[in-house]
Structure 1
Amino acid sequence: MMANEAMVKKPVTNGSVALFGDDLDKGFENMTQQDLALPFIRILGQLSPQVTEGDSKYVTGAKPGNIYNTVTNELYDGKIGIKVIPCYYKKDYPEWSDRGEGSAAPVALHAPNSPVIATGKREGSKIRLPNGNYLEETASYYVMVETKAGGYTPALITMKSTQLNVSKKWNAMMKTVQISDGKGGFAVPPMHGVVYNLSSNLQKNDKGSWYGWVVTQDRILETKDKSLYLSAKGFSSDVKKGSVQTRADVEDKIIENVPF
Protein backbone atom coordinates (compact mmCIF):
# COMPACT_ATOMS: atom_id res chain seq x y z
CA MET A 1 0.00 0.00 0.00
CA MET A 2 1.32 3.45 -0.87
CA ALA A 3 1.68 5.90 2.00
CA ASN A 4 -1.04 8.25 0.79
CA GLU A 5 -3.46 5.32 0.53
CA ALA A 6 -3.09 4.55 4.24
CA MET A 7 -4.40 7.92 5.28
CA VAL A 8 -7.96 9.13 4.92
CA LYS A 9 -8.16 12.89 4.86
CA LYS A 10 -11.10 15.14 5.58
CA PRO A 11 -11.91 17.23 2.50
CA VAL A 12 -10.41 20.71 2.66
CA THR A 13 -12.24 23.50 0.89
CA ASN A 14 -9.77 26.36 0.92
CA GLY A 15 -7.51 28.20 -1.48
CA SER A 16 -4.81 25.54 -1.26
CA VAL A 17 -6.86 23.02 -3.24
CA ALA A 18 -7.30 25.48 -6.07
CA LEU A 19 -3.58 26.25 -5.99
CA PHE A 20 -2.41 22.63 -6.05
CA GLY A 21 -4.91 21.41 -8.63
CA ASP A 22 -3.76 18.16 -10.24
CA ASP A 23 -0.60 18.12 -8.12
CA LEU A 24 -2.41 16.87 -5.02
CA ASP A 25 -0.61 13.85 -3.47
CA LYS A 26 2.26 14.05 -5.97
CA GLY A 27 5.78 13.35 -4.77
CA PHE A 28 4.78 10.38 -2.63
CA GLU A 29 4.64 7.80 -5.43
CA ASN A 30 7.60 5.77 -4.13
CA MET A 31 6.78 6.10 -0.45
CA THR A 32 5.22 3.03 1.16
CA GLN A 33 4.07 2.28 4.70
CA GLN A 34 7.58 0.89 5.37
CA ASP A 35 8.99 4.38 4.87
CA LEU A 36 6.83 5.98 7.55
CA ALA A 37 7.32 6.23 11.31
CA LEU A 38 4.31 4.56 12.89
CA PRO A 39 3.28 6.77 15.82
CA PHE A 40 2.43 5.47 19.25
CA ILE A 41 -0.76 6.73 20.84
CA ARG A 42 -0.24 6.80 24.59
CA ILE A 43 -1.65 8.33 27.74
CA LEU A 44 0.66 10.82 29.44
CA GLY A 45 1.43 10.16 33.09
CA GLN A 46 2.89 12.17 35.94
CA LEU A 47 6.44 11.20 34.91
CA SER A 48 6.05 11.61 31.16
CA PRO A 49 8.67 14.04 29.77
CA GLN A 50 5.97 15.76 27.70
CA VAL A 51 4.38 17.16 30.90
CA THR A 52 7.68 18.22 32.50
CA GLU A 53 8.67 21.82 31.79
CA GLY A 54 12.36 22.06 30.98
CA ASP A 55 12.53 18.57 29.50
CA SER A 56 13.58 18.50 25.84
CA LYS A 57 10.41 16.54 25.05
CA TYR A 58 8.08 18.92 26.86
CA VAL A 59 4.92 19.76 24.93
CA THR A 60 3.25 23.06 25.75
CA GLY A 61 -0.05 22.51 27.50
CA ALA A 62 0.49 18.80 28.11
CA LYS A 63 -0.78 17.37 31.37
CA PRO A 64 -1.26 13.92 32.89
CA GLY A 65 -4.24 12.14 31.41
CA ASN A 66 -3.83 13.70 27.97
CA ILE A 67 -3.64 11.35 25.00
CA TYR A 68 -0.51 11.93 22.92
CA ASN A 69 0.61 11.17 19.35
CA THR A 70 4.37 10.56 19.42
CA VAL A 71 4.95 11.58 15.79
CA THR A 72 2.67 14.60 15.31
CA ASN A 73 2.92 15.73 18.97
CA GLU A 74 -0.85 16.21 18.93
CA LEU A 75 -2.53 16.28 22.33
CA TYR A 76 -6.09 15.13 22.98
CA ASP A 77 -8.28 15.71 26.00
CA GLY A 78 -8.30 12.38 27.80
CA LYS A 79 -11.80 12.94 29.16
CA ILE A 80 -13.20 13.33 25.63
CA GLY A 81 -10.97 10.71 24.05
CA ILE A 82 -10.08 9.81 20.48
CA LYS A 83 -11.76 7.80 17.74
CA VAL A 84 -9.88 4.72 16.55
CA ILE A 85 -10.52 1.79 14.23
CA PRO A 86 -8.63 -1.33 15.37
CA CYS A 87 -7.17 -3.04 12.31
CA TYR A 88 -4.90 -5.77 13.69
CA TYR A 89 -4.16 -7.25 17.11
CA LYS A 90 -1.24 -9.22 18.41
CA LYS A 91 0.28 -10.18 21.74
CA ASP A 92 3.97 -10.67 22.40
CA TYR A 93 6.51 -10.63 25.21
CA PRO A 94 9.32 -8.07 24.80
CA GLU A 95 12.43 -9.02 26.76
CA TRP A 96 13.94 -6.05 28.59
CA SER A 97 17.05 -5.46 30.63
CA ASP A 98 16.48 -3.54 33.85
CA ARG A 99 16.45 0.23 33.60
CA GLY A 100 19.97 1.62 33.37
CA GLU A 101 21.40 -1.60 31.99
CA GLY A 102 22.21 -2.18 28.33
CA SER A 103 20.34 -0.72 25.36
CA ALA A 104 17.02 1.09 25.66
CA ALA A 105 15.64 -1.25 23.00
CA PRO A 106 14.25 -4.68 23.96
CA VAL A 107 16.79 -7.49 24.00
CA ALA A 108 14.40 -9.77 22.11
CA LEU A 109 10.75 -10.20 21.20
CA HIS A 110 9.08 -13.49 22.15
CA ALA A 111 5.84 -14.96 20.80
CA PRO A 112 3.17 -16.20 23.26
CA ASN A 113 4.21 -19.81 22.57
CA SER A 114 7.92 -19.20 23.15
CA PRO A 115 9.53 -21.77 25.51
CA VAL A 116 11.50 -18.90 27.07
CA ILE A 117 8.37 -17.74 28.93
CA ALA A 118 8.15 -20.96 30.95
CA THR A 119 11.71 -20.48 32.23
CA GLY A 120 10.80 -17.26 34.03
CA LYS A 121 9.34 -16.46 37.43
CA ARG A 122 6.35 -14.17 37.82
CA GLU A 123 7.09 -10.86 39.58
CA GLY A 124 3.89 -8.85 39.50
CA SER A 125 3.20 -8.04 35.86
CA LYS A 126 6.72 -9.04 34.83
CA ILE A 127 8.32 -12.42 34.24
CA ARG A 128 11.90 -12.55 35.51
CA LEU A 129 14.22 -14.72 33.42
CA PRO A 130 17.24 -16.71 34.65
CA ASN A 131 19.54 -14.29 32.78
CA GLY A 132 18.28 -11.35 34.86
CA ASN A 133 16.17 -9.79 32.12
CA TYR A 134 12.40 -9.69 32.31
CA LEU A 135 9.47 -10.25 29.96
CA GLU A 136 6.44 -7.99 29.83
CA GLU A 137 3.21 -9.29 28.33
CA THR A 138 2.11 -6.67 25.80
CA ALA A 139 -1.07 -6.35 23.74
CA SER A 140 -0.63 -4.31 20.55
CA TYR A 141 -3.42 -2.69 18.54
CA TYR A 142 -2.64 -1.41 15.07
CA VAL A 143 -5.27 1.25 14.53
CA MET A 144 -6.47 4.04 12.30
CA VAL A 145 -6.75 7.07 14.58
CA GLU A 146 -8.75 10.20 13.90
CA THR A 147 -6.58 13.30 13.69
CA LYS A 148 -7.50 16.80 14.75
CA ALA A 149 -7.91 17.66 11.07
CA GLY A 150 -10.70 15.08 10.87
CA GLY A 151 -8.92 12.43 8.81
CA TYR A 152 -7.61 9.03 9.89
CA THR A 153 -4.00 7.85 9.95
CA PRO A 154 -2.23 4.61 11.06
CA ALA A 155 -0.91 4.34 14.62
CA LEU A 156 -0.07 1.82 17.34
CA ILE A 157 -1.52 1.47 20.83
CA THR A 158 0.08 -0.92 23.31
CA MET A 159 -1.36 -2.15 26.60
CA LYS A 160 0.51 -3.92 29.37
CA SER A 161 0.47 -4.43 33.14
CA THR A 162 -2.84 -3.20 34.59
CA GLN A 163 -4.06 -2.27 31.10
CA LEU A 164 -4.16 -5.92 30.04
CA ASN A 165 -7.55 -6.13 31.76
CA VAL A 166 -8.72 -3.26 29.55
CA SER A 167 -7.33 -5.13 26.54
CA LYS A 168 -9.26 -8.28 27.39
CA LYS A 169 -12.51 -6.35 27.83
CA TRP A 170 -11.95 -4.54 24.53
CA ASN A 171 -11.29 -7.84 22.76
CA ALA A 172 -14.50 -9.28 24.21
CA MET A 173 -16.39 -6.15 23.15
CA MET A 174 -15.13 -6.51 19.58
CA LYS A 175 -16.13 -10.17 19.40
CA THR A 176 -19.67 -9.46 20.59
CA VAL A 177 -20.51 -6.70 18.07
CA GLN A 178 -23.19 -7.99 15.72
CA ILE A 179 -24.88 -6.80 12.54
CA SER A 180 -27.71 -8.26 10.50
CA ASP A 181 -26.44 -10.73 7.89
CA GLY A 182 -29.40 -9.97 5.63
CA LYS A 183 -30.66 -13.54 5.97
CA GLY A 184 -32.51 -13.24 9.23
CA GLY A 185 -29.43 -13.89 11.32
CA PHE A 186 -26.45 -12.01 12.70
CA ALA A 187 -22.76 -11.77 11.88
CA VAL A 188 -19.68 -10.27 13.51
CA PRO A 189 -18.26 -7.40 11.43
CA PRO A 190 -14.52 -7.31 10.71
CA MET A 191 -12.36 -5.72 13.38
CA HIS A 192 -11.58 -2.85 11.01
CA GLY A 193 -15.27 -2.15 10.44
CA VAL A 194 -16.04 -0.62 13.83
CA VAL A 195 -15.05 2.72 15.38
CA TYR A 196 -14.29 2.94 19.12
CA ASN A 197 -13.71 5.85 21.45
CA LEU A 198 -10.68 5.61 23.72
CA SER A 199 -10.56 8.01 26.64
CA SER A 200 -8.54 8.05 29.87
CA ASN A 201 -9.33 8.18 33.54
CA LEU A 202 -7.50 7.95 36.83
CA GLN A 203 -7.20 4.36 37.99
CA LYS A 204 -5.94 3.02 41.31
CA ASN A 205 -4.85 -0.07 43.17
CA ASP A 206 -3.23 -0.63 46.56
CA LYS A 207 0.16 0.38 45.15
CA GLY A 208 -0.78 3.74 43.68
CA SER A 209 -2.63 5.52 40.89
CA TRP A 210 -2.15 6.09 37.16
CA TYR A 211 -4.10 7.08 34.07
CA GLY A 212 -5.51 4.20 32.04
CA TRP A 213 -7.69 3.55 29.02
CA VAL A 214 -11.48 3.51 28.88
CA VAL A 215 -12.92 1.90 25.72
CA THR A 216 -16.46 2.35 24.39
CA GLN A 217 -17.99 1.46 21.04
CA ASP A 218 -18.70 4.51 18.88
CA ARG A 219 -20.28 3.26 15.63
CA ILE A 220 -20.18 0.64 12.89
CA LEU A 221 -18.91 1.83 9.52
CA GLU A 222 -21.49 2.20 6.75
CA THR A 223 -21.52 2.46 2.96
CA LYS A 224 -20.72 6.17 3.16
CA ASP A 225 -17.47 5.24 4.94
CA LYS A 226 -16.16 3.09 2.07
CA SER A 227 -12.91 5.03 1.61
CA LEU A 228 -12.14 4.85 5.33
CA TYR A 229 -13.07 1.17 5.48
CA LEU A 230 -10.80 0.28 2.54
CA SER A 231 -7.89 2.19 4.09
CA ALA A 232 -8.36 0.36 7.39
CA LYS A 233 -8.59 -2.96 5.54
CA GLY A 234 -5.42 -2.18 3.61
CA PHE A 235 -3.54 -1.23 6.77
CA SER A 236 -4.65 -4.49 8.39
CA SER A 237 -3.32 -6.40 5.40
CA ASP A 238 0.00 -4.53 5.48
CA VAL A 239 0.54 -5.33 9.16
CA LYS A 240 -0.33 -8.99 8.63
CA LYS A 241 2.17 -9.21 5.75
CA GLY A 242 4.91 -7.59 7.84
CA SER A 243 5.05 -4.48 5.66
CA VAL A 244 4.62 -2.10 8.61
CA GLN A 245 7.77 -1.18 10.50
CA THR A 246 7.27 -1.12 14.26
CA ARG A 247 9.37 -0.99 17.39
CA ALA A 248 8.78 -1.39 21.09
CA ASP A 249 7.50 1.62 23.01
CA VAL A 250 10.86 2.36 24.58
CA GLU A 251 9.87 5.65 26.21
CA ASP A 252 6.90 4.04 27.91
CA LYS A 253 9.22 1.35 29.26
CA ILE A 254 11.66 3.93 30.60
CA ILE A 255 8.91 5.87 32.38
CA GLU A 256 7.37 2.79 33.99
CA ASN A 257 4.80 4.95 35.77
CA VAL A 258 2.22 2.26 36.47
CA PRO A 259 2.48 0.52 39.85
CA PHE A 260 3.21 -3.21 39.58
Structure 2
Amino acid sequence: MGRAVKKKVAAEVVPFDQSIFEQDAGAGVSDLGQEDLALPFLKLISGLDTLLDDPDFKGRKGDIYNTVSETVHTGGEGVKVIPCVYQRRFIQWAPRGAGTGAPLAIFEPTDELPKTERSREDNREYVVGGDGSYLEETHQHFVVVLNEDGSAETAMIAMKSTGLKKSRKWNSMMSSITMKGKNGPFTPPRFSSVYLLKSVQEENSKGKWHNWDMSRVGPVEDAALYQRAREFAISIRSGEVVVKHSNEEADMPTPHKDEVPF
Protein backbone atom coordinates (compact mmCIF):
# COMPACT_ATOMS: atom_id res chain seq x y z
CA MET A 1 0.00 0.00 0.00
CA GLY A 2 1.46 3.35 -1.00
CA ARG A 3 2.40 5.96 1.55
CA ALA A 4 -0.14 8.75 1.86
CA VAL A 5 1.12 12.09 0.67
CA LYS A 6 0.69 14.75 3.28
CA LYS A 7 -0.70 17.92 1.84
CA LYS A 8 1.32 21.01 2.67
CA VAL A 9 -0.55 23.90 4.15
CA ALA A 10 0.81 27.30 3.20
CA ALA A 11 1.70 29.41 6.19
CA GLU A 12 -0.32 32.56 6.46
CA VAL A 13 1.80 35.67 6.00
CA VAL A 14 0.87 38.26 8.58
CA PRO A 15 1.39 41.82 7.28
CA PHE A 16 3.92 43.75 9.34
CA ASP A 17 3.14 47.35 10.13
CA GLN A 18 6.49 49.17 10.03
CA SER A 19 4.99 52.15 11.83
CA ILE A 20 5.89 50.25 15.00
CA PHE A 21 9.49 51.35 14.39
CA GLU A 22 8.51 54.82 15.56
CA GLN A 23 7.88 53.49 19.07
CA ASP A 24 11.58 52.61 19.33
CA ALA A 25 12.89 55.61 17.42
CA GLY A 26 16.62 56.14 17.97
CA ALA A 27 17.16 52.95 19.95
CA GLY A 28 20.73 51.71 19.53
CA VAL A 29 21.93 54.74 17.57
CA SER A 30 21.01 57.76 19.70
CA ASP A 31 24.11 57.32 21.86
CA LEU A 32 26.53 57.41 18.92
CA GLY A 33 28.89 60.37 18.79
CA GLN A 34 30.69 61.84 15.79
CA GLU A 35 33.78 59.79 16.70
CA ASP A 36 31.69 56.65 16.09
CA LEU A 37 30.56 57.71 12.62
CA ALA A 38 32.28 58.15 9.26
CA LEU A 39 31.35 61.25 7.28
CA PRO A 40 31.02 60.12 3.66
CA PHE A 41 33.15 61.69 0.96
CA LEU A 42 31.75 62.38 -2.50
CA LYS A 43 34.60 61.98 -4.95
CA LEU A 44 35.21 61.73 -8.67
CA ILE A 45 36.60 58.36 -9.71
CA SER A 46 39.97 58.87 -11.38
CA GLY A 47 41.83 56.53 -13.70
CA LEU A 48 44.21 55.67 -10.84
CA ASP A 49 41.45 54.78 -8.38
CA THR A 50 41.82 51.30 -6.87
CA LEU A 51 38.03 50.90 -7.11
CA LEU A 52 38.50 50.20 -10.81
CA ASP A 53 40.64 47.15 -9.97
CA ASP A 54 37.54 45.35 -8.66
CA PRO A 55 35.91 43.44 -11.56
CA ASP A 56 32.52 43.67 -9.81
CA PHE A 57 32.65 47.44 -9.42
CA LYS A 58 29.96 49.08 -11.56
CA GLY A 59 31.44 52.57 -11.76
CA ARG A 60 33.89 54.03 -14.24
CA LYS A 61 36.20 57.01 -14.61
CA GLY A 62 34.38 60.29 -14.10
CA ASP A 63 31.54 58.84 -12.02
CA ILE A 64 30.72 60.22 -8.56
CA TYR A 65 31.27 57.82 -5.65
CA ASN A 66 30.02 57.87 -2.05
CA THR A 67 32.74 56.36 0.14
CA VAL A 68 30.35 55.12 2.86
CA SER A 69 27.16 54.01 1.10
CA GLU A 70 29.25 53.00 -1.97
CA THR A 71 26.59 54.55 -4.18
CA VAL A 72 27.75 55.41 -7.70
CA HIS A 73 26.24 58.36 -9.57
CA THR A 74 27.08 58.54 -13.26
CA GLY A 75 29.14 61.60 -14.07
CA GLY A 76 26.84 62.58 -16.92
CA GLU A 77 23.65 62.54 -14.83
CA GLY A 78 25.25 63.82 -11.65
CA VAL A 79 23.82 64.18 -8.15
CA LYS A 80 21.86 66.95 -6.43
CA VAL A 81 23.23 68.49 -3.24
CA ILE A 82 22.56 71.32 -0.81
CA PRO A 83 25.86 73.03 0.10
CA CYS A 84 26.08 73.87 3.80
CA VAL A 85 29.59 74.98 4.83
CA TYR A 86 32.86 75.77 3.06
CA GLN A 87 36.31 75.43 4.64
CA ARG A 88 39.75 76.15 3.21
CA ARG A 89 42.48 73.90 4.57
CA PHE A 90 46.14 73.03 3.88
CA ILE A 91 46.82 69.31 4.36
CA GLN A 92 50.31 67.90 4.85
CA TRP A 93 50.71 64.41 3.38
CA ALA A 94 53.49 61.87 3.78
CA PRO A 95 55.10 60.49 0.59
CA ARG A 96 52.97 57.89 -1.19
CA GLY A 97 53.40 54.47 0.42
CA ALA A 98 54.74 55.92 3.66
CA GLY A 99 53.07 56.73 6.96
CA THR A 100 49.66 55.65 8.24
CA GLY A 101 47.60 57.00 5.36
CA ALA A 102 46.25 59.84 7.48
CA PRO A 103 47.41 63.47 7.09
CA LEU A 104 50.54 64.47 8.98
CA ALA A 105 48.90 67.80 9.79
CA ILE A 106 45.95 69.97 8.78
CA PHE A 107 46.38 73.74 8.79
CA GLU A 108 43.84 76.55 8.67
CA PRO A 109 44.58 79.66 6.56
CA THR A 110 45.40 81.65 9.71
CA ASP A 111 47.97 79.08 10.92
CA GLU A 112 51.68 79.41 10.30
CA LEU A 113 52.38 77.10 7.38
CA PRO A 114 55.62 75.15 6.93
CA LYS A 115 57.99 76.46 4.28
CA THR A 116 57.57 74.69 0.94
CA GLU A 117 59.14 74.52 -2.52
CA ARG A 118 57.14 73.67 -5.64
CA SER A 119 58.38 70.77 -7.72
CA ARG A 120 58.59 71.30 -11.47
CA GLU A 121 57.93 67.61 -12.01
CA ASP A 122 54.56 67.17 -10.30
CA ASN A 123 53.66 70.74 -9.17
CA ARG A 124 53.41 69.71 -5.53
CA GLU A 125 54.46 71.98 -2.68
CA TYR A 126 57.09 69.90 -0.86
CA VAL A 127 57.91 70.79 2.72
CA VAL A 128 61.50 71.95 3.07
CA GLY A 129 63.30 69.35 5.19
CA GLY A 130 60.12 67.29 5.41
CA ASP A 131 61.48 63.97 4.07
CA GLY A 132 59.23 64.10 1.02
CA SER A 133 56.02 65.29 2.67
CA TYR A 134 54.03 67.90 0.80
CA LEU A 135 51.36 70.51 1.47
CA GLU A 136 48.12 70.55 -0.50
CA GLU A 137 45.52 73.31 -0.51
CA THR A 138 42.11 71.67 -0.15
CA HIS A 139 38.65 73.22 -0.30
CA GLN A 140 36.13 71.31 1.81
CA HIS A 141 32.46 71.59 0.84
CA PHE A 142 30.05 70.04 3.34
CA VAL A 143 26.77 69.11 1.66
CA VAL A 144 23.47 67.30 2.07
CA VAL A 145 23.15 64.74 -0.74
CA LEU A 146 19.67 64.32 -2.25
CA ASN A 147 19.32 60.74 -3.44
CA GLU A 148 16.99 59.63 -6.21
CA ASP A 149 14.89 57.53 -3.81
CA GLY A 150 13.98 60.66 -1.83
CA SER A 151 16.42 60.05 1.02
CA ALA A 152 19.10 62.51 2.06
CA GLU A 153 22.50 62.15 3.72
CA THR A 154 25.38 64.37 4.72
CA ALA A 155 28.77 64.23 2.99
CA MET A 156 31.91 66.20 2.22
CA ILE A 157 33.54 67.05 -1.11
CA ALA A 158 37.28 67.78 -1.10
CA MET A 159 38.44 69.86 -4.06
CA LYS A 160 42.12 70.45 -4.81
CA SER A 161 44.57 71.05 -7.66
CA THR A 162 42.48 71.92 -10.74
CA GLY A 163 39.39 71.44 -8.57
CA LEU A 164 40.26 74.67 -6.74
CA LYS A 165 39.18 76.69 -9.75
CA LYS A 166 35.83 74.89 -9.75
CA SER A 167 35.49 75.46 -6.02
CA ARG A 168 36.03 79.20 -6.38
CA LYS A 169 33.50 79.30 -9.20
CA TRP A 170 30.94 77.52 -7.01
CA ASN A 171 31.58 79.93 -4.14
CA SER A 172 31.11 82.86 -6.53
CA MET A 173 27.81 81.40 -7.76
CA MET A 174 26.51 81.17 -4.20
CA SER A 175 27.66 84.61 -3.10
CA SER A 176 26.09 86.27 -6.16
CA ILE A 177 22.54 85.08 -5.40
CA THR A 178 20.21 87.78 -4.08
CA MET A 179 16.61 87.66 -2.92
CA LYS A 180 14.10 90.34 -2.03
CA GLY A 181 13.05 90.53 1.60
CA LYS A 182 10.85 92.85 3.61
CA ASN A 183 13.89 95.04 4.27
CA GLY A 184 15.18 94.93 0.71
CA PRO A 185 17.62 92.68 -1.20
CA PHE A 186 19.68 90.17 0.80
CA THR A 187 22.09 87.29 0.21
CA PRO A 188 20.44 83.99 1.25
CA PRO A 189 22.38 81.38 3.25
CA ARG A 190 24.57 78.86 1.48
CA PHE A 191 22.14 76.06 2.37
CA SER A 192 19.15 77.75 0.69
CA SER A 193 19.80 76.35 -2.81
CA VAL A 194 20.00 72.98 -4.54
CA TYR A 195 22.82 72.34 -7.04
CA LEU A 196 23.42 69.63 -9.60
CA LEU A 197 26.99 68.31 -9.58
CA LYS A 198 28.29 66.49 -12.66
CA SER A 199 31.72 65.64 -14.03
CA VAL A 200 33.36 66.93 -17.19
CA GLN A 201 36.51 65.74 -18.92
CA GLU A 202 39.43 68.14 -19.19
CA GLU A 203 42.84 67.68 -20.77
CA ASN A 204 46.21 69.24 -21.45
CA SER A 205 49.50 68.12 -22.96
CA LYS A 206 50.07 65.65 -20.11
CA GLY A 207 46.77 63.82 -20.30
CA LYS A 208 43.07 63.81 -19.48
CA TRP A 209 41.17 63.89 -16.21
CA HIS A 210 37.67 64.56 -14.89
CA ASN A 211 36.65 67.64 -12.96
CA TRP A 212 33.54 68.95 -11.24
CA ASP A 213 30.80 70.86 -13.01
CA MET A 214 28.06 72.53 -11.00
CA SER A 215 24.81 74.31 -11.84
CA ARG A 216 22.09 75.77 -9.64
CA VAL A 217 18.76 73.92 -9.73
CA GLY A 218 16.82 76.39 -7.60
CA PRO A 219 15.90 77.20 -4.00
CA VAL A 220 15.24 74.50 -1.39
CA GLU A 221 11.49 73.91 -1.36
CA ASP A 222 11.20 71.39 1.48
CA ALA A 223 11.15 72.83 5.01
CA ALA A 224 12.47 69.62 6.59
CA LEU A 225 15.41 69.49 4.17
CA TYR A 226 16.21 73.13 4.82
CA GLN A 227 16.20 72.53 8.57
CA ARG A 228 18.44 69.49 8.20
CA ALA A 229 20.95 71.43 6.09
CA ARG A 230 20.85 74.30 8.59
CA GLU A 231 21.50 71.98 11.54
CA PHE A 232 24.34 70.28 9.66
CA ALA A 233 25.94 73.67 9.06
CA ILE A 234 25.65 74.53 12.76
CA SER A 235 27.23 71.21 13.80
CA ILE A 236 30.19 71.78 11.47
CA ARG A 237 30.83 75.31 12.71
CA SER A 238 30.66 74.12 16.32
CA GLY A 239 33.30 71.46 15.64
CA GLU A 240 30.97 68.50 16.21
CA VAL A 241 31.70 66.98 12.79
CA VAL A 242 35.05 65.23 12.48
CA VAL A 243 36.54 64.77 9.00
CA LYS A 244 38.82 61.75 8.58
CA HIS A 245 40.97 62.27 5.50
CA SER A 246 42.82 59.36 3.92
CA ASN A 247 45.66 59.15 1.44
CA GLU A 248 43.20 58.00 -1.24
CA GLU A 249 42.68 61.72 -1.78
CA ALA A 250 46.32 61.97 -2.82
CA ASP A 251 45.91 59.45 -5.64
CA MET A 252 44.57 61.94 -8.18
CA PRO A 253 46.99 62.84 -10.99
CA THR A 254 48.31 66.38 -10.95
CA PRO A 255 47.86 68.19 -14.29
CA HIS A 256 50.44 70.27 -16.10
CA LYS A 257 51.68 73.29 -14.15
CA ASP A 258 49.98 75.76 -16.52
CA GLU A 259 46.62 74.23 -15.58
CA VAL A 260 47.05 74.32 -11.80
CA PRO A 261 44.81 77.18 -10.56
CA PHE A 262 46.94 78.67 -7.79
**Which of the five TM-score ranges fits, normalised by the shorter chain?**
0.7 to 0.9
Q: Does 1:242 align with 2:239?
A: yes
Q: 1:233 aligns with which of 230, 235, 251?
A: 230
1:86 deviates by 1.0
* Structure-2 change in CA distance of 1:210 and 1:179 (3 Å): same
1:176 deviates by 0.5
1:98 deviates by 1.6
SS at match of 2:162: helix
* Structure-2 change in CA distance of 1:103 and 1:31 (3 Å): closer
Q: Identify the residue that residue 213 of structure 1 maps to in structure 2.
A: 212
Equivalent position amino acid for 2:197 in 1: L
- Checking the alignment, whether the CA contact within 8 Å between 2:123 and 2:254 is kept in structure 1 is no
1:61 deviates by 1.3
Q: Identify the residue that residue 130 of structure 1 maps to in structure 2.
A: 128
| Alignment length (residue pairs) | 238
Q: Distance in 2 between matches of 1:29 and 1:97?
A: 36
Q: Distance in 1 between matches of 2:54 and 2:84?
A: 35
1:114 deviates by 2.9
* Structure-2 change in CA distance of 1:103 and 1:60 (3 Å): closer
* Structure 1 residue ranges, 4+ long, deviating more than 6 angstroms after superposition: none
Q: Does 1:154 align with 2:150?
A: no
Question: Which segments of 5 or more consecutive residues in structure 1 lack a partner in the other structure?
Answer: 1-13
- Checking the alignment, whether the CA contact within 8 Å between 2:38 and 2:244 is kept in structure 1 is no
SS at match of 1:137: strand
Q: 1:62 aligns with which of 35, 59, 62?
A: 59
* Structure-2 change in CA distance of 1:27 and 1:100 (3 Å): closer
Q: Percent identity?
A: 33
The higher radius of gyration belongs to 2
Equivalent position amino acid for 2:30 in 1: E
- 5 Å-filtered alignment, 1:16-27, equals 17-18=18-19, 20=21, 22-27=23-28
Q: Does 1:43 align with 2:44?
A: yes
Question: Which segments of 5 or more consecutive residues in structure 2 lack a partner in the other structure?
Answer: 1-14, 257-262
Equivalent position amino acid for 1:97 in 2: A
Q: Does 1:116 align with 2:117?
A: no
Q: Does 1:167 align with 2:164?
A: no
Q: Deviations over 1:72-124 (max 9, x none)?
A: 1101111011111111111111111221233321111112233325x212336
Q: Identify the residue that residue 198 of structure 2 maps to in structure 1.
A: 199
Q: Distance in 2 between matches of 1:109 and 1:198?
A: 26
1:244 deviates by 0.7
Q: Deviations over 1:119-170 (max 9, x none)?
A: 2123365222112421000000111111243221110100000110000100
1:25 deviates by 4.1
> TM-score under structure 2 normalisation?
0.84
1:240 deviates by 0.8
Q: Deviations over 1:23-58 (max 9, x none)?
A: 34433222244432101000111121212235xxxx
